Amino acid sequence: MDVRRLDLLRELAERGSVTAVAEAAGRTPSAVSQQLKVLEKEAGMPLTQRVGRGIQLTSAGHALARSATEVAVALERAGALWDDFRNQPGGEVSLLTFPTIGATLLPAVFTDLAAVAGLVVRATDLDPELDRFADLTSDHDIVLAHAMPGQLPWGGRGLTVVPLLTEPLDIGLPVDHRLAGRAHVTPEDLVDETWLSVPEGFPFERILHAVEQQGGRRIRIAQRFSDMRIVEAFIEAGLGIALVPRHTSGPVPPGIVLKPLRGVPSARQIVALARPDVAQRLAVRTVLDVLVARASRLGA
């Protein structure tokens, strides 16, 4: 079977439609469909079936798509061994970050990687909802993701997961707040406060729900922002309190104090995600190694 056709089947399993596969592969939908039909003839059994106006994989199609992943991993592993032999981790690596970790971790990472001849890293940022991080590995070699403890939104996807950092989420308060002198705060201290939160569906919301349950009543959310700089500006102006990442939000503005939250789990896991074949590339492994090293220093 042709490896390129196998890869198209794998992409169909991950992206869900011929149109999405065509866009990712830079082909027309008809060309993708034609290649899938050729693969089906080679396999000797139906790999897709019509459902409504689209198609989905049959059980045989899913099995062959999984085999396609194994083939891709083997090919990348062979290429990585050759790169190791030549000691040349060159090539281009695409990286997707979310804003806070991008601002505090990536500049040092890129400084370290500048010494690696022939390696080019293209980075961009996005702060997606929790369940979208895994999907983004189809378009980026490395995806920096975060989740609350106990949540594994990328579980069962077969991705390579590299832990980077466990980051406490503190409570940001104005310096003149009634709780600013405390060593720590509890949900009972906070339920009557005005809160600044993230957009609905973002990971931090889980902690706020725990605060509500522990405190015994609903909290009042005045504003929702995805940009931590806006959140900190509102805290400093006395317009509310919020969860603030301890390590990745940058230097704390002079008008804000951070207090640990006791009584409910308040931390997030930061990881790097990659498809298993992509993770075999020496260039990608080189970037991952530097991410791990720099994240360790950031947490310390």
CATH 3.40.190.10 fits 167-267, yes or no: yes
Beta strand pairing status for 256-259 and 160-174? antiparallel
167-267 has the same fold as 89-164+269-299? yes
Among 1.20.140.10, 3.40.630.30, 1.10.10.10, 1.10.1270.20, what is the CATH number of 3-73?
Answer: 1.10.10.10
pLDDT at 234: 97
pLDDT at 1: 63
Q: Can you tell me which residue has the tokens 């009634």?
A: 178
Do 48 and 17 touch, CB atoms closer than 8 A? no
pLDDT at 81: 64
pLDDT at 2: 66
Please state the domain extents for the chain. Answer: 3-73, 89-164+269-299, 167-267
What is the second-level CATH architecture of the domain 89-164+269-299?
A: 3-Layer(aba) Sandwich (3.40)
Please tell me the distance from the alpha carbon of residue 154 to that of residue 160, in angstroms, as a whole number: 10
* CA nearest neighbour of 287 among 133, 162, 181: 162
Q: What is the dihedral of CA 158, 154, 169, 226, to 10 degrees?
A: 130
pLDDT at 123: 95
* CA nearest neighbour of 173 among 253, 103, 227: 253
> HSE-up of 300 (CA within 13 Å, CB side)?
6
One pLDDT digit (tens) per residue for the chain, 300 residues: 667 777 777 777 788 787 787 777 778 877 877 777 877 777 777 777 887 777 778 888 777 777 777 766 666 776 666 565 455 667 899 999 988 888 889 999 999 999 888 899 999 998 766 567 888 898 899 999 988 877 777 777 788 999 999 999 999 999 999 999 999 999 999 999 999 998 887 778 888 888 999 888 899 999 999 888 999 999 999 999 999 999 988 888 999 999 999 999 899 899 999 988 888 888 999 999 999 999 999 877
Q: Can you tell me which residue has the tokens 């301890």?
A: 246
Distance, CA of 82 to chain centre: 29
Name the residue type at position 135. Answer: D
Q: What is the dihedral of CA 148, 154, 155, 158, to 10 degrees?
A: -150
DSSP string, 268-291: EEEEEEE-TTGGGSHHHHHHHHHH
At 123 the three-state DSSP class reads: strand
pLDDT at 85: 47
pLDDT at 166: 92
* CA nearest neighbour of 92 among 108, 69, 113, 68: 113
Q: Convert 164-199 into a string of H (helix), E (strand) and C (coil).
A: EEEEEEEEEEECCCCCCCCCCECHHHHCCCEEEECC
pLDDT at 87: 55
